[in-house]
Amino acid sequence: MEFQPFVRTRMLDAKPAPVTSVGPAGWIRRNLFDGPLNAAMTLVMAFVIFLLLSHLLPWVFLSVWHAESLAECREIIDQRYGTGHSGACWAVIHERFFQLVYGFYPPELYWRPNLTFILMLGALAPILFTQLPRKMMVFSALFPFLGAWLLWGGSVWQPVLVLAGFGIGFAAWTALAKVNGILAIAAGLILPVLWWVFAMEPVVNGLHAVIPLGLEPVDSTQFGGFMVSVVIGVTAITLSLPLGIMLALGRQTDLFIVRTVSIGFIEFIRGVPLITLLFVASTLLNYFMPPGTNFDLIVRVIIMATLFSAAYIAEVIRGGLAALPKGQYEAADSLGLDYWQAQRLIIMPQALKIAIPGIVSTFIGLFKDTTLVSIIGILDPIGLSNAIRADSAWQGIYWELFAFIGFVFFIFCFSMSRYSMYLERKLNTGHR
């Protein structure tokens, strides 16, 4: 037989991948049935999930949303689904929704916390998302004073003169910075405190008597529900990060006094339970103020929560600093940068990228720990749930209240976790 040479002149068309290796079927095969052990675990977990959902879904969806008591809820469930059927009584959420959100805040003033929450999102936006114009940071800096005034009310001159205290401190620091650095820092810290404690209130009263502008005051005892958790959590998170950075730097400095104070503060705070600090805030902190000073309880709790979180943030950031190779510090020195320039431009950005997961975990833990304030008499969602269950109409109800509270906390905490992942991807955190 004569050999006939053949040379292909046209490429064959690509054949589709096997059905079992692409699409949903491929994903299931790779992730759920990749071997006997994986397949057995998949079947066992599917059976467990089926058992859980078969009991949970009827309880969630075969429920009552409108009733005035737990007894009425159970009567409606028996009439609709038969005697002995177990269903959720979501009517308690419907009846006490505004109380769980606002506590005992006056209903006609709900627009103030609502507006504060919207403005808070606007103030956080340029901090969380760098694509936004940097000019928006001016509003971010002013929001704490505006938000506090909206929530607590009172004279408009109160937040204006509190802001003026920071201006006094900055002016003192600027004037003395070229003379003596230590003196400039001391003046920048002490003068605002003296202004706020001794001089501000008479000036506020005088200005308000001449130009009476303000909102109806609301006492902290009327705050409650998720509003308290958001106010304490967001404020403490915002303040604890810069304070934690300063503590982390102070712990590594060569200045003996600064290092000793930083280490002592961090170790003391980390060695004391948060609930102990909250008791200190509710009972002892007011004794350090001048007689007659009304130091708001929520402000005291914010201070203690901030200090508690800052100590843990400092250790997380110290871990990020320790993870940086020594060459980064040497590179900063070779460029002729001073200490603060090196920290701002080279060291701290890299350390913060490394520490992002730990920082966000600390923030999530702090936000969940705001439920501890119920122990010192602040009616957060947990405290309000106890008050609701003490009502004779809702005695015996548990799961519905705690499920709703847990779901709302999950939304906040899951959002922080997802933002952390977004930030890591954006900054290319990790080694490739």
Structure-token pair, residue 205: 């009263």
- Is 60 exceeded by the pLDDT of residue 430? no
Model confidence over 230-266: pLDDT tens digits?
A: 999 999 999 999 999 999 998 888 888 889 999 999 9
The Cβ of residue 151 has, within 10 Å, a number of other Cβ atoms equal to: 20
Structure-token pair, residue 304: 């203690």
Structure-token pair, residue 164: 């003026």
Model confidence over 68-124: pLDDT tens digits?
A: 888 888 888 888 877 777 788 898 998 999 999 999 999 999 999 999 999 999 999
- Please state which CATH number belongs to domain 223-426: 1.10.3720.10
pLDDT class of 432 with cuts at 50, 70, 90: very low
- Is 50 exceeded by the pLDDT of residue 185? yes
Asked if residues 192 and 168 have their Cβ atoms less than 8 Å apart, the reply is: yes
pLDDT class of 315 with cuts at 50, 70, 90: very high
Q: How far, in Å, are 128, 241, 346, 356 from residue 422 at the CA level?
A: 10, 19, 22, 11
Which SS3 state, helix, strand or coil, does residue 338 take? coil
Domain boundaries, the chain: 35-102, 154-215, 223-426
Q: 394: which DSSP letter? A: G
CA distance 53 to 59: 10
Model confidence over 281-312: pLDDT tens digits?
A: 877 766 766 666 667 889 889 999 999 999 99
The phi and psi torsions of 380 (rounded to 5 degrees) equal -75, -175
Model confidence over 35-69: pLDDT tens digits?
A: 888 889 999 999 999 999 988 888 888 888 888 88
Predicted model pTM: 0.85
Asked if residues 48 and 66 have their Cβ atoms less than 8 Å apart, the reply is: no
Asked if residues 351 and 323 have their Cβ atoms less than 8 Å apart, the reply is: yes
CA distance 360 to 420: 7
Q: Specify whether the backbone of 304 is left (phi greater than 0), alpha (psi in -120 to 50) or beta.
A: alpha
Q: 19: which DSSP letter? A: G
Asked if residues 89 and 67 have their Cβ atoms less than 8 Å apart, the reply is: yes
Q: Specify whether the backbone of 338 is left (phi greater than 0), alpha (psi in -120 to 50) or beta.
A: beta
Q: Over the Cα atoms of the chain, what is R_g?
A: 29
First and final C-alpha spacing in the chain: 59
